[in-house]
């Protein structure tokens, strides 16, 4: 039984990864941002934060996503960044 569950978990995980990738593609299309523009934003964020802290650029994750506003529940685009900080300068 455990052996079968092991394989089904991987399939679910793979399905979820594919679903998240598709969402990301749709958000980029709807926000009308080119990958080049997103890379420029990422570069600027790295440059500014690097002035104040040493960051792990390998672990850096910046993406555009959709979320609902708290005020009126309308859906908006949001830039989400996970920036691992190694140490403060």
Domain boundaries, the chain: 2-88
Any alpha helices (H) in 32-88, and if so which ranges?
35-50
pTM score > 0.95 for this model?
Answer: no
pLDDT at residue 65, rounded to an integer: 78
Each residue's pLDDT expressed in tens, for the chain with a length of 89 residues: 444 444 554 445 777 777 777 776 666 566 666 778 778 888 898 899 999 999 998 888 888 777 888 888 887 778 888 899 999 98
Using CA atoms, how far residue 22 sits from 1, 3, 10, 15, 53, in Å, is 32, 30, 18, 11, 33
Q: Where are the alpha helices (DSSP H) in 32-74?
A: 35-50
């Amino acid at each position: 039984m455990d052996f079968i569950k092991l394989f089904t978990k991987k399939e679910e995980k793979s399905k979820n990864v594919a679903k998240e990738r598709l969402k990301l593609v749709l958000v980029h299309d709807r926000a009308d941002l080119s990958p080049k523009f997103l890379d420029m934003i990422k570069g600027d964020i790295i440059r500014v934060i690097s002035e104040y802290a040493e960051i792990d650029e390998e672990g850096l994750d910046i993406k555009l996503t959709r979320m609902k506003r708290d005020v009126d529940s309308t859906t908006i685009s949001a830039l989400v960044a996970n920036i691992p900080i190694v140490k403060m300068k």
